[in-house]
A and B are shown apart, each in its own frame.
Chain A
C-alpha cells in the first residue's frame, strides 16, 4: 500500500455533506479510517505500468446501442405513485427543500 493513501477529516466532512449525511466527530474519524483503507487498495493500481492502457468504463466492447424513437406504455399515475411514501394531487410529495432554489 502506498503511503499517500489518506483522506483528511475535512474531506470526509465535505463528502458527508454532499451525501446529506449528518456525521458525529467520532463517525468522521471512524469512516475516515475506513475510506483510507479503500483508497489505499484502489491506489495500488498506481504501482502498475498503465501508461499504454486506455482507461475503460465498460467491460463490453460495444458502441452505439440505441433504440427506435417509439413511445411505449409506461406506468399509470396510480402505479407510479403506489410506492411513494406520500403523494398529493397526482404528484410525489417531498419534504420542503431548504436553502436551495429550483
Chain B
C-alpha cells in the first residue's frame, strides 16, 4: 500500500493494519443557577459581560466561595459512574496566559480529583448482536469554564489573520466537570462507534441525574477525543493526538474515524505521529494541527490557597448514592425482562426515543405490545413526516393508552384507532372526543352489517359465485368492500363470518 499525505488509506485499510486506542475527555457544564465560585447567573444567551462580578473577572481583592450544589452534582455524577468519592481533595490553580481566563489561571483540580476509578458500560451493536464494552473512567474533577473569545478581522473568524479579539466573561466561572477515561482498548474497527456510544451514554446519565442540560450545540457538553494507533492489540500504547471540541455526537464518530485514517497514512508512509492538539473541522471532515500543547508542568499547578479542601461527608455520600435514579443501563436490563423484548427490539426503541413514552403508556394501563405498536408505527410515521421527535408531537402516553383501551373494549378496531390517533394529533381533542366528533365506532349491529354484505355480494356476483363453489379465499374481496362501505367501522372478522354464512 503506497500512501502519500494527499491520499489517505481507506478506513478498512487503516484498521486492518493498526489497532486503534481511544481516550475521551468530556466537559459538562453543570446546570446550577449560579457560578462555581461566585453568585453570578449562568443563564445562556445573556448580553456579553452582563453576568460577571469582581470574582469571575479576577479583580484584585475578590475571593472565591465554592458552590455547594456544584459539589453535590459532581458527587452524584461520580456515583452514577461507579467511581470512588475521595475522602478529601483540593482545588488547584492551572496557570496560563490566555485572555479567556481574566485571572491568568483556571481554578481546577489536578492531582486530587474528587472522583476516581469509575466505569461505564457501553453497548455496541455488531453483526452478531449487542456487545458490551466497559469504558474505565480515570477521574471526574471540578473546574470552572472559561470566557468566550471572538476573533475579529480575520476572514474566517479564526485566530489566524485576526486583528484583535473580543472577550465575553459570562461563561467564565460556570461550574464544569471533566470526565476522563483511561485508554480504551479492544474496540478495534468499532472504535469510532464506541466513542459515540460512550458520549451518548454519558449524556443519558447526565440527563437522568438532572445535573446538566447536556446540549452539545450550546456547548454544555464538549468532547475531546484522543486517538493513537499501534501495530496490534498486544503492542504497547504509543503517541496520541488530541482532537479538541468535537461538538456533536456524529462529529465524535467522524473525528475519531478521520484521525485513525490520518495516522495510519503517516505510519504507513514511515512518518511519525506527533503528540499534538488538533482541531476538528465539521465542514471538511478533517482535523488540522492546533497550538503545540504546554506540558502539564508548564501550567505550574499548585493548591488553590483561597479555597479550603473539600471533604465529602461519608453519610452524605451514601445518602446521595441511595437517592440516585435508576441508571439507563439498569433500566434497560429491567425493561428487557419486564417487557420480554429482544435486545434488537429495545435498541430500536431507544434509537426512536420511544422508551419513556412506551413506559408511560404501559403505566397508564396499555399492554406493552399495543403501546409499542402505536408509538413505533403510526405515531412514529407522523413524527417522521413532520420531522420532529416523538415526544414533540401533541399526543400523550395517557391518550395513547385511552385509544388502546377503546380497542380492547371492542369499541374501536385498528383502522378506527388510527383515525382517532390522527384526530388527536390534529388537535381535535381527547380520544373520546375524537370518537364522538367523527362518529367512529365499530358497527356491532348484525342487521346493518348483513345489509352491507348483501349489497357487496350483489355488486360482485362472480365473486359471490366463487365463494359458493367453495373458494373461501375469495371472501376477502367482499370483506374489503364491506369495510370500505362502512368506513372501517365494521369488525372484519365478524364481516367474514357473515359473508361465509350468506354463501353457505
Which residues of A are in contact with B by a Cβ distance under 8 Å?
A: 18-20, 57-58, 60, 62-77, 80-81, 83, 88-97, 99-102
Q: In the complex, A51 Cα to B323 Cα: how many Å? A: 42
Q: Of A66, A67, A81, A94, which contacts B164 at CB under 8 A?
A: A94
Q: In the complex, A57 Cα to B303 Cα: how many Å? A: 6
Expressed in whole angstroms, the minimum distance between the Cβ of A62 and any Cβ of chain B is 5
Q: Whose C-beta in chain B lies nearest to the C-beta of A15?
A: B300
Instruction: Give the residues from 143 to 177 in chain B that come closer than 8 angstroms, CB to CB, to chain A.
Output: 149-153, 158-159, 162-169
Q: In the complex, A71 Cα to B162 Cα: how many Å? A: 36
Q: Of B158, B167, B312, which contacts A92 at CB under 8 A?
A: B167
Q: Does B84 contact A (CB under 8 A)?
A: no
Query: Are B100 and A69 interface neighbours, CB within 8 A?
Result: no
When distances are taken between beta carbons in the complex, the residues of chain B under 8 Å from A18 are 95, 97, 294, 298, 300
Query: Are A58 and B34 interface neighbours, CB within 8 A?
Result: no
Query: Are A90 and B168 interface neighbours, CB within 8 A?
Result: yes
A contacts with B: majority SS: loop
Query: Are A91 and B54 interface neighbours, CB within 8 A?
Result: no
When distances are taken between beta carbons in the complex, the residues of chain B under 8 Å from A73 are 39
B contacts with A: majority SS: loop
Q: Does B38 contact A (CB under 8 A)?
A: yes
Q: In the complex, A60 Cα to B158 Cα: how many Å? A: 46
> What are the 5 tightest A-B residue pairs by CB atom distance, in nearest-first order?
A72-B39, A74-B53, A66-B68, A69-B69, A57-B303
When distances are taken between beta carbons in the complex, the residues of chain A under 8 Å from B56 are 74
Query: Are B311 and A94 interface neighbours, CB within 8 A?
Result: no
16 additional contacts (CB under 8 A) given A68-B68, A93-B166, A97-B98: A19-B97, A60-B308, A63-B310, A64-B308, A64-B310, A64-B311, A64-B313, A68-B69, A69-B70, A71-B33, A74-B51, A75-B54, A80-B57, A90-B48, A92-B168, A101-B158
Which residues of B are in contact with A by a Cβ distance under 8 Å?
A: 32-34, 38-41, 47-54, 56-57, 59, 65-71, 88, 90, 95, 97-100, 102, 149-153, 158-159, 162-169, 277, 279, 290-291, 294, 298, 300, 302-305, 307-313
When distances are taken between beta carbons in the complex, the residues of chain A under 8 Å from B291 are 99-101
Query: Are A94 and B165 interface neighbours, CB within 8 A?
Result: yes
Q: Whose C-beta in chain A lies nearest to the C-beta of B53?
A: A74
Expressed in whole angstroms, the minimum distance between the Cβ of B328 and any Cβ of chain A is 26
Q: Whose C-beta in chain B lies nearest to the C-beta of A55?
A: B303
Q: In the complex, A4 Cα to B149 Cα: how many Å? A: 44
When distances are taken between beta carbons in the complex, the residues of chain B under 8 Å from A57 are 90, 302-305, 309
Query: Are A90 and B47 interface neighbours, CB within 8 A?
Result: yes
Q: Whose C-beta in chain A lies nearest to the C-beta of B289?
A: A101
Query: Are B165 and A77 interface neighbours, CB within 8 A?
Result: no
When distances are taken between beta carbons in the complex, the residues of chain B under 8 Å from A96 are 151, 153, 159, 162-165
Q: In the complex, A18 Cα to B297 Cα: how many Å? A: 11
Expressed in whole angstroms, the minimum distance between the Cβ of A4 and any Cβ of chain B is 19
Query: Are B48 and A102 interface neighbours, CB within 8 A?
Result: no
Q: In the complex, A52 Cα to B22 Cα: how many Å? A: 41
Q: In the complex, A14 Cα to B177 Cα: how many Å? A: 31
Query: Are B33 and A91 interface neighbours, CB within 8 A?
Result: no
When distances are taken between beta carbons in the complex, the residues of chain A under 8 Å from B162 are 96-97
When distances are taken between beta carbons in the complex, the residues of chain A under 8 Å from B90 are 57
Q: In the complex, A29 Cα to B69 Cα: how many Å? A: 50
Q: In the complex, A76 Cα to B164 Cα: how many Å? A: 24
Query: Are B165 and A74 interface neighbours, CB within 8 A?
Result: no
Q: In the complex, A91 Cα to B308 Cα: how many Å? A: 32
